[in-house]
Structure 1
Amino acid sequence: MIKWGTQVYCIKIQGRYRKRNPIMTRHLWNHEEHAPPEIDNQKQQITSQNWQAVKSYVVNSNHVRNTSVSNRKRSDVFQNTQSTCLINPQIYEYPTEGVLIGCVGIKLPTWLARARCIMTFTHQTNRNRYRDNLCAFRCIGHSLGKDTKAMAQQFTSVYGINVESGVTLDMLDDIEDLFNVAIFVYTKTEGKAVALRRSTFEAKPVYLHLESNHFCLITNVNRYAESYRCDVCQRFFYEQYELTRHKCTTEPVEVFPGGVYTPPLNIFEKLDLEGVFVPHQLRYFKYRIAFDIESMFEKCDIPDSSKTSWECKHIPISVSISSNVEGFLEPYVIVSNGDPNDLCAEMVDHFHDIQSESFRLLQTENQHYLDMLETKITEMKALDPSEKKIPLERLQEEFMRYLKQIPVLSFNGGRYDLNCLKEYLMGLLVDENLSVLKRGNNFLSLTTNRLKFLDIVNYLAPGFSYDAYLKAFKCSAAKGHFLYEFLTSLEKLDYTSLPSHDEFYSSLKGRNISTAEYENCLKVWNDNKMTTLRDYLK
């Protein structure tokens, strides 16, 4: 603390330490060894010449480098830190609480006198200077349309405080209560506004600019500064209203209280934390089911709307199922008997048969790690028999759910297959702890205790066709072609020959298959010695 004339100032040095630490600050004269020779510990009164000597001392000090000195008013108090070499420090001076703020003899900087959004109130209308220290009441009175001296006299009579020499920042609370205003005090540095006081009073706001020991009225706070800074947490805002609603404390501010996003731990990472280490080759679910449906088009009598024309209803007539689970390696095709409910029921039953075998095989492979987990659970329960369920038991249940649930894959099944089957399928799965994740009409995931339906399209680049997908993995089988619009009833499955090329036309696509593609269909028919269209469907 330094007493200079009638003002009391606190000097602060701010800079960045060499070793990449955050910006640190310390009071320059809190330690006797850092006190300049011109200033003693008795808060000696100094002259302007001595003040320049103080600045010179700091600039030439061995404790700082590349010092830039500036006079800025601040209202915060920074913690002390140990002295080390600072890089690019800055020195600030600011009036402390209790300093009287008036305007007698004040000389404002040129930029402030020319500012269009600030009324300085240093001169009267007849260009004579004000001879009082009522700048605070003058600013508030102008904003409220009241007389300056009358407001000062009212304040003195109510609180018994003489304001002829000015007011302190502490008195602004009483002024708010008496005149029902919310007073915000700012100062400005390098185009950036620093909030010295933010009001919590719900009343008409009055914005004041503090320059040295003089209050000015901010008439347009939006044009006042390029940005606004909280003087407590040092956070910047582009708009004044953002600073007004900002709340902070003197404690360190946590910008991201939960930290950065990290993916949740999978079951094997959780087991690692408990000391159960599953080998890397067993951490991939090796079994899966793939399915595809075919539908026939049944004419519908739904009336058209202004934007939609209803042509046919898609009725599932067959399901093709394949798997890499031992005992179910051969493709399995189910052809409808005319009732889609029976078709879906047989499909789900076959899925469950595959899942049961998959679970048995996986449980056998992981039995050693299941036993390790069971041993740890037994040991922990022995330590506290009163505890009903321990976390390791929940982890054991999660591990068993993982082994039980087999992926059921389809290509574009989330958009077509599941939407075509949902009318008949959901009732069969509702008792299986059914969970659905959708985006619009697209099923991203449909899970039960034993099955997890996934669409491969959700994991491919947009526009990736099924034909391109097969070629990318060098599959020997190619995408086939079917007579969707020809097949309008189950009786047509008994056709003893492949229909003509014209029957492959698709009104949805607006085109037919090529001649080469039709010839390939004929080759498939002849090579596989098909006798009916039912064989071609399989």
Structure 2
Amino acid sequence: MLPFFVIMWTGRLSGKLSSFRSTCCGIVAWRFIGTVRGRLIKDNLCFFRCLALFRDSSPETVEANAAGFCQQYCLAVDGGFNPDTFPGVKLVDLPVIEELFKLNINVFHLAADAPRNGCVLKSRSVRRRAFKEPRILNLHLFKEHFSYIENLDILASGCVCKVCRKHFGKLSKCSEHENTCKGLVKNVYVGGVYSTSKSVLDALDEAGIEVPTSLRFFPFRAAFDLEAYFKTENLPANASKTTWHAEHLPLSVSICSNVPGFQEANCFVTDGDAAKLVDRMLSYLVRVQEASREAMMERFQGVFDDLDRLLAESCKREPCQEVDNHPLAKLRSRLVTHLTILPVISFNGGKYDINLMKRWFLLQLTRTVTITFVVKRNNNFMCIQTHRFKFLDMRNYLAPNHSYASFLRAFGCDAEKGWLPYKYMTDLSRLHETALPPIDAFYTSLTKKALALEEYQRCVEVWSQEGMSSLRDFLRWYNNLDVVPFLQAIQKHFEFFESRGVDALWMVCPYRVSL
């Protein structure tokens, strides 16, 4: 037998006296509840009076019918009681009464401290209706006595499903809903629900192919850094709120990698054609990427052999017409793609470097390779991935406002200090000058600092020691100073995560692994 609970109810009382019919003395504290005959009744037959009213008894026959219902119940339970000695109906007795009188019962409880214009939520029955009786006996429980609710819709303005918390204007609608409610909220997402996809190495593990720990982290990467010169001629006209000082144009790009055969920094200087400079940059990166791919394919040769063996065995057991559509064949293709893509990293390149050469870079990139996807936030290119490269910004892996110098210091990478006369580089003809410009040319308007005499003397020494013949040579030396220690710091940074089993360069969200 199922237990019986008091039903939870939320809503607002209407204040109409006809909502309740009191059948006991304990209800008269509520001024808007009347009594059956205008007098107090002190026995324990309140429930059976409610039942008599529910069965459409007239006021003159309520007492007799209530006594008859009580006698019928006492005989059924064999309790040895009669209407005069009956102790009253308890909540635990209601399932037996429902079965005996073939009806459904709802019990509500209005707290004694509730406001006169509101109901207090107590508890809610999770029972299903046992009978197909269209009407339901709605009772109000106050202290130890029941009263009959003639019109529940007048009493309160709405109710809530206890399982899913859905609101209904009428109890009948709520009860009908609860008969089929499973307590599940179904959320429909048109674009699908986000879930982190498994990496190709995880897929290999599920296929039963063990990848050694030494191969689980992509070892190769390249770094680049662009320098710009400030063109001050043929600028757009100034507006009321806009003043043009200079146009930033690509001057040179330095590239360094840890791929064997390309570990020396290589600097390319523009001849005035920015598109040509970007093309030379991408052509060099393609050579680095091909060397990286060849080395990775050689390292994973054993994994490919295992994949080919499993694929052949599977096709032998279950012949398939299109081998390329086999799950293992698709897994092999994913592995090749994973080993092909070379991470290319810059520092603040997503905001500055790529935007500096964007006009030519994206055009040349689409001519050389196929862009797979782009992750962009405002003017920040967080990631550009093609079938050959994955352009990333190191600042996305660091705490906010982390500078390049502090990043190098954090990993103990000592970088040789260098200086470039940005203010002086307003025209490409300056690159052909055969001597350093005066010390005043090294003034930086951004930091509003001039070059110290000792620092200028260091520039003169480097010019002599490196055998420089033009300012172009000095530019190459300065540009290469950034990428070499930067690549070393990147290596140490990702070794920290590799020691914890994380290949940070292939994380979906870099901020999840920022320091």
* TM-score for the superposition, normalised by structure 1: 0.60
Shift, 1:315, TM fit:
1.2
Go from structure 1 to structure 2 and tell me whether the alpha carbon gap of 1:289 and 1:109 turns closer, same or farther (over 3 Å shift): closer
Q: Which has the higher helix share?
A: 2
CA distance in 2, matches of 1:530, 1:337: 19
Contact kept, 8 Å, 2:224 with 2:256, in 1: the verdict is yes
**Considering only aligned residues, what root-mean-square deviation do their CA atoms show, in Å?**
4.6
Partner of 1:376: 310
For the residue of structure 2 that corresponds to 1:485, the secondary structure is helix
Unaligned stretches of 5+ residues in structure 1: 10-36, 59-70, 78-92, 102-106, 118-186, 197-208
For the residue of structure 2 that corresponds to 1:425, the secondary structure is helix
2:215 to 272, 282, 288: 282
In the TM superposition, what are the counterparts of 1:84-123 in structure 2 within 5 Å?
A: 111=113, 115-116=116-117
For the residue of structure 2 that corresponds to 1:401, the secondary structure is helix
For the residue of structure 2 that corresponds to 1:326, the secondary structure is coil
Partner of 2:63: none
Partner of 1:427: 363
Partner of 1:273: 206
Shift, 1:48, TM fit:
10
Contact kept, 8 Å, 2:374 with 2:384, in 1: the verdict is yes
Partner of 2:332: 396
1:347 to 269, 281, 285: 281
Name the amino acid aligned to 2:320.
P
1:386 to 298, 314, 321: 321
Is 1:312 equivalent to 2:249 in the alignment? no
Go from structure 1 to structure 2 and tell me whether the alpha carbon gap of 1:530 and 1:219 turns closer, same or farther (over 3 Å shift): farther
Is 1:506 equivalent to 2:444 in the alignment? yes
Shift, 1:292, TM fit:
0.7
Alpha-carbon deviations, 1:232-259, whole Å to 9, x = none?
x15489x99xx99xx8852242678999
In the TM superposition, what are the counterparts of 1:98-247 in structure 2 within 5 Å?
A: 111=113, 115-116=116-117, 188-190=120-122, 211=140, 212-214=147-149, 215=151, 229-231=160-162, 233=163, 235=165
CA distance in 2, matches of 1:306, 1:98: 83
Partner of 1:253: 184
Alpha-carbon deviations, 1:152-187, whole Å to 9, x = none?
xxxxxxxxxxxxxxxxxxxxxxxxxxxxxxxxxxx6
Shift, 1:270, TM fit:
0.8
Partner of 2:470: 532
Name the amino acid aligned to 1:453.
F
Go from structure 1 to structure 2 and tell me whether the alpha carbon gap of 1:195 and 1:508 turns closer, same or farther (over 3 Å shift): farther
Name the amino acid aligned to 1:251.
K
For the residue of structure 1 that corresponds to 2:226, the secondary structure is strand
Q: Which has the higher strand share?
A: 1
In the TM superposition, what are the counterparts of 1:436-451 in structure 2 within 5 Å?
A: 436-451=374-389
Contact kept, 8 Å, 2:228 with 2:249, in 1: the verdict is yes
Go from structure 1 to structure 2 and tell me whether the alpha carbon gap of 1:298 and 1:116 turns closer, same or farther (over 3 Å shift): same
Shift, 1:485, TM fit:
2.2
Name the amino acid aligned to 2:466.
N
Go from structure 1 to structure 2 and tell me whether the alpha carbon gap of 1:507 and 1:54 turns closer, same or farther (over 3 Å shift): same
Partner of 1:5: 48
CA distance in 1, matches of 2:294, 2:271: 32
Partner of 2:58: none
Alpha-carbon deviations, 1:344-372, whole Å to 9, x = none?
11111110001111111110010010111
Contact kept, 8 Å, 1:485 with 1:506, in 2: the verdict is yes
Partner of 1:464: 402
Contact kept, 8 Å, 2:421 with 2:442, in 1: the verdict is yes
CA distance in 2, matches of 1:439, 1:351: 25
Name the amino acid aligned to 2:242.
T
CA distance in 1, matches of 2:363, 2:274: 13
Shift, 1:476, TM fit:
2.6
Partner of 1:406: 342
Partner of 1:489: 427
For the residue of structure 1 that corresponds to 2:469, the secondary structure is coil
Name the amino acid aligned to 1:484.
Y
Name the amino acid aligned to 1:278.
V
Contact kept, 8 Å, 1:210 with 1:216, in 2: the verdict is no
Partner of 1:301: 235
Name the amino acid aligned to 1:115.
R
Partner of 2:225: 292
Go from structure 1 to structure 2 and tell me whether the alpha carbon gap of 1:263 and 1:97 turns closer, same or farther (over 3 Å shift): farther
Contact kept, 8 Å, 2:164 with 2:185, in 1: the verdict is no
CA distance in 1, matches of 2:467, 2:217: 40
For the residue of structure 2 that corresponds to 1:444, the secondary structure is strand
Alpha-carbon deviations, 1:187-218, whole Å to 9, x = none?
6435x89999xxxxxxxxxxxx9845324677
For the residue of structure 2 that corresponds to 1:189, the secondary structure is coil
Unaligned stretches of 5+ residues in structure 2: 5-44, 53-72, 128-137, 141-146, 477-515
CA distance in 2, matches of 1:425, 1:459: 24
CA distance in 1, matches of 2:89, 2:206: 63
* TM-score for the superposition, normalised by structure 2: 0.63
Alpha-carbon deviations, 1:297-330, whole Å to 9, x = none?
1124212334332222211121111111111111
Go from structure 1 to structure 2 and tell me whether the alpha carbon gap of 1:426 and 1:276 turns closer, same or farther (over 3 Å shift): same
Partner of 2:38: none
Name the amino acid aligned to 2:121.
T
Go from structure 1 to structure 2 and tell me whether the alpha carbon gap of 1:406 and 1:46 turns closer, same or farther (over 3 Å shift): farther
**Aligned pairs, how many?**
383
Shift, 1:268, TM fit:
0.5
Alpha-carbon deviations, 1:35-85, whole Å to 9, x = none?
xx9895699998697556857xx7xxxxxxxxxxxx9x9xxx9xxxxxxxx
CA distance in 1, matches of 2:384, 2:51: 72
CA distance in 2, matches of 1:220, 1:305: 66
Name the amino acid aligned to 1:289.
A
Name the amino acid aligned to 2:348.
N
Partner of 1:157: none
Name the amino acid aligned to 1:413.
G
Shift, 1:495, TM fit:
2.1
Go from structure 1 to structure 2 and tell me whether the alpha carbon gap of 1:99 and 1:267 turns closer, same or farther (over 3 Å shift): closer
Name the amino acid aligned to 2:436.
L
Name the amino acid aligned to 1:449.
H
CA distance in 1, matches of 2:80, 2:430: 110
Name the amino acid aligned to 1:189.
L
